Structure 1
Amino acid sequence: MTENLVFFKASNNQAILRKFQSRLNEIQSKSNFESARNTHMNNIINSMLATPDEWDFKCGITIKWIGNTFIDLISDKNLMLTTEHLDDMFSMCFRFLFELYLSTKTELITELNNARNFAVENTNEFSATAKVQVEYAIREMPISMLKDLLASESIGSIKDFNNLHKIIKDKQDAWETELKNKEIRVEAIKTSLATYESGFNFVGLFQGFDDLSKQKELEKTNLLFWIKVAGIAIVTPLISEIIYLYFHVSNFEQIKIVLGISLLPTASLIAILVYFFRIILQNYKSTKSQLLQIELRKTLCRFIQHYADYSSKLKEKDKESLAKFESIIFSGIVSDDEKLPSTFDGIEQLGSLIKSLRA
């Protein structure tokens, strides 16, 4: 049994078998031997036509050896179906049948088993050529089949099994070594990543503080600008008053009159500007204080992971070991508004100034 050929299943070969079978059925037998021979040959052909896949699969060697010769012989319409020719045809059918028998684990069906027994028991009744074929099939064909099988690629693969097993084992060892090396590399990467954990673990919290810090920096810059503007605005009325008196008033009496008229508005304006200057200055100081608190939180976020790791054992003994840290990190960012001037501070100062002038 070799590779799975397509011989008996081929449509043209099946047509040839059917035509030969029709010719075989028309023959008038002259003896019981010829009648039994033709009947058994007809049963073999019936099986070939009924189960071509099985015959193709299990008779590969005989198909390779005499398949074409068998088809050429039975397809020759001009060939006279003499006793010798029919004996030759039966002997070929018997060779196919005997390989089928050798390749089948179980017993053949009754018709095929009877055909095999008929050939074995009546070997001497066949013509000389057919007798040689039958005896070859019974005695030497199993050995020839075995030799062909041993020389096949399948048996060669079995013979090379040990070499193949060694190759596979070497491959497996190489894969295991490579896997172990990769595991070592993964562990090294894991250890390396652990060293960066503190840098990224609280990256969201740090980023939030950083954004808030940028906003406060901008706010501080704006407040500093308005402090400068307010400072200039405070001294501007006085300077303007002096310049006006210098260029437009020629004697002291006129100066007294002008000062009496403009002093109250000027003083009121300066008092209001001083009030706003104090508010802006207080906000500026508050913003600087908030920036310091934010920078403290950003600094603490950089080492919180290691701090928590190192203090874990201490926290088992004292649950409040991180309370100070947590109170700073998660507390609100407050401004010092205790000295922030109220809304009525400027009004009270203006009232005091008016009272002093009237007195």
Structure 2
Amino acid sequence: MTGAVDSFFATDFNQKTISNMMHKVRSGLDSKRDGDNERYKFLLEFIGVTLFNIQNNPTSFDERCIMNIASLGSRFIEEIRGFDLSEESALHLFAYCYRFIIEYQISSPNAISSELLDVLARVSDFEYGAAASQVRYAGHQMLINVVQHYLYHPSLVSLKNLPEVIQRSETERGHAEKSIIDREARVNALAEKLETYETAFNFVGLYSGFKSLKAAKVSERRWNFFFLLVLGAMLLSPVMVKFFSLVSAPVQKEPDLVGFAALAGLELLILYFFRVTLQNFRSIKAQLLQIDLRMTLCQFVQSYAEYSRSAPDGSKGLLERFEQVVFSGIVNDESAIPSTFDGLDKLAELVGKIRK
């Protein structure tokens, strides 16, 4: 109840002082013969038994004699050091020892030693003169003071408030559990949001990739359209030049077959490249259409992810078409684009016929 108690009797100095006093008491008892002053012999015997128990159990006396140690501990040690074996000095020291033994007996949970009980039983057999008031105080008022000291000790007061403390702790525990549950719910909600953000972030990256690809394809389509216009103009230019040259030139008897053959070959060659460029332009438009479709599908991918988690096990192939569209490769339709040497065999046959 008292917690950590400061050492008093257990200190080396006080232990040595008490040990020296024990030798004085023994010598005083040895010097008295039977029949000599019985009260004085009892005083020395009481002091000797008390100091013997204190010397053997200093920690126990430190813990159980708190009140008297605080009120007269220092004076008690001074009395021991100044003891001169006189009866008056023995009366004063006896009164102090009696107070310590009474408090020790009250504070002990078990019975004290039989030697202490024997000397306590003989206290009422004698008169103590100047020390009588101390003996009466130790037997009456001091008992009340000791009980008050322990009854209203801060630790015991706290013990009386234990039911209230327990109730308060239960209330606090309920609040703490409720707070923990609320925090756990918030953490779970944040975890769900974080998972949503993670999924959305992943598909935002996919959308960004499609967007970059679309920008590249738009630029490619722009340049392809420009080359298409150039090739169209080149396809018409030789014909227009040849036509105006024929109109403005004098009439010839023989047609310019070599010029017409060269013009036809040039037109066929330009037409071939125009066709390749046109087919590539159509392929780029098809690719842009596919990219736009994928970008549109990525806009509601979060709802798709939630539906995928909640879909029953029996509907595993339900969303395969969606995945095929989003995650499949972009079709270039290269099979429809003529290769560079397509039609050269026909052109070679035509040139051979012209030479013949």
The two structures have a TM-score, normalised by structure 2, of: 0.73
Structure 2 equivalent of residue 208 of structure 1 = 206
1:155 maps to what in 2?
A: 156
1:292 aligns with 2:289: yes
The offset of 1:232, in angstroms, is: 2.5
Contact 1:226 1:280 in 2 (8 A): yes
Change (3 A) 1:328 1:233: closer
Residues 123 and 134 in structure 1, CA contact (< 8 A), matched pair in contact too: no
How far off its partner does 1:82 sit?
Answer: 0.7
Q: 2:18 maps to what in 1?
A: 17
Superposition deviation, residue 63 in structure 1 = 0.7
Alpha-carbon contact 1:62-1:96 (below 8 Å) kept: yes
1:54 matched to 2:60? The reply is: yes
Identify if the C-alpha distance between structure 1 residues 92 and 113 changes in structure 2 by more than 3 Å, giving closer, same or farther: farther
Within 5 Å, which residues of 2 pair with 1:24-39?
A: 24-27=25-28, 28-31=30-33, 33=38, 34-35=40-41, 37-39=43-45
Secondary structure at the aligned position of 1:343 is classed as coil
The change in CA–CA distance for 1:218 and 1:121 in structure 2 (over 3 A counts) is same
Separation in 2, partners of 1:50, 1:252:
152
**1:59 maps to amino acid:** C
| Mapping 1:126-137, distance limit 5 Å | 127-137=128-138
CA distance in 2, matches of 1:5, 1:69: 17
1:275 and 1:18, CA in 2 relative to 1: closer, same or farther beyond 3 A?
A: farther
The residue number in structure 1 matching 2:92 is 88
Give the structure 1 partner of residue 347 of structure 2.
350
**Aligned pairs for 1:248-259 within 5 A:** none
Q: How does 1:1-359 map to 2 (within 5 A)?
A: 4-27=5-28, 28-31=30-33, 33=38, 34-35=40-41, 37-76=43-82, 80-108=84-112, 112-125=113-126, 127-161=128-162, 164=165, 168=169, 171=172, 193=193, 197=196, 201=199, 203-205=201-203, 207-229=205-227, 231-232=229-230, 235=233, 260=258, 264=262, 271-304=268-301, 306=303, 321-348=318-345, 350-351=347-348, 353-355=350-352, 357-358=354-355
Shift in Å at residue 211 of structure 1?
A: 0.5
Shift of residue 218, structure 1, vs aligned partner: 0.6
Residue identity opposite 1:291 in structure 2: L
Query: 1:318 and 1:178, CA in 2 relative to 1: closer, same or farther beyond 3 A?
Result: closer
Task: State the one-letter code of the partner of 1:222.
Answer: E
The Cα of 1:292 is off from its aligned counterpart by 2.1
Aligned residues with identical type, % of pairs = 26
Provide the C-alpha distance between the structure 2 equivalents of 1:267 and 1:51, rounded to a whole number of angstroms. 132
Question: What TM-score results when the alignment is normalised by the length of structure 1?
Answer: 0.73
Ranges in structure 1 where 5+ consecutive residues have no aligned partner: none
Q: Deviations over 1:296-331 (max 9, x none)?
A: 233333335545767999967866543433443344
Greater displacement, 328-337 / 273-282: 273-282
Cα contact 2:294–2:326 (8 A) shared by 1: yes
Aligned length: 347
After superposing the two structures, state which structure 1 stretch, 212-221 or 166-175, moved more: 166-175
Distance 1:98 1:346, change over 3 A: farther
Root mean square deviation, CA, Å:
4.5
Q: 1-side partners of 2:236 and 2:296: how far apart? A: 47
Separation (CA, whole Å) in 2 of partners of 1:24 and 1:314: 99
Deviation (angstroms), 1:225: 1.2
**How big is the shift at 1:206?**
5.1
Q: C-alpha distance in 2, partners of 1:314/1:105?
A: 73
- The answer to whether the 8 Å contact 1:315/1:322 transfers is no
Does the CA-based 8 Å contact 1:9-1:52 persist in structure 2? yes
Matches of 1:319 and 1:2 in 2, distance apart? 73
Residues 17 and 81, structure 2, Cα contact 8 Å, conserved in 1: yes
